Amino acid sequence: MTDLKSQINPEKIPQHIAIIMDGNGRWAKQKGMPRVLGHHSGVKSVREVTEAAAQIGVKYLTLYAFSTENWNRPPAEVTALMSLLVETIKGEIRDLNKNGVRLTAIGDIEALPAATLKTLKEGIEKTKDNQRITLVLALNYSAKWEILHATRKLAEEVKAGRLDPAQITEAVFEEELSTHGIPDPELLIRTSGEARLSNFLLWQVAYAELYFTPVYWPDFGQQELFEAILSFQNRERRFGRISEQLT
Site string for ligand FPP, 138-177 (x = CB under 6 A): ----------------------------------------
Residue least distant from ligand FPP (Cβ): 25
Residue 63 or 177 with smaller CB distance to ligand FPP: 63
Environment class of residue 63 by beta-carbon count within 10 Å: exposed (0-12), middle (13-18) or buried (19+)? buried
84 binds ligand FPP (CB under 6 A): yes
- The 10 Å Cβ neighbour count of residue 176 is 17
Which one is catalytic: 3, 70, 97, 99? 70
- Tell me the CA distances in angstroms from 155 to 149, 151, 160, 162, one per residue in order: 10, 6, 9, 10
* Edge-to-edge order in the sheet of strand 60-67: 101-106, 133-141, 60-67, 16-20, 187-190, 209-212
- Of these, 52, 54, 65, 229, which contacts ligand FPP (CB under 6 A)? 65
39 lines the binding site for ligand FPP (CB under 6 A): yes
**Whether 22 is catalytic:** yes
Contact present, 62 and 51 (Cβ < 8 Å): no
The residues binding ligand FPP (CB under 6 A) are: 21-26, 39, 42-43, 46, 63, 65, 70, 81, 84-85, 88, 137, 192
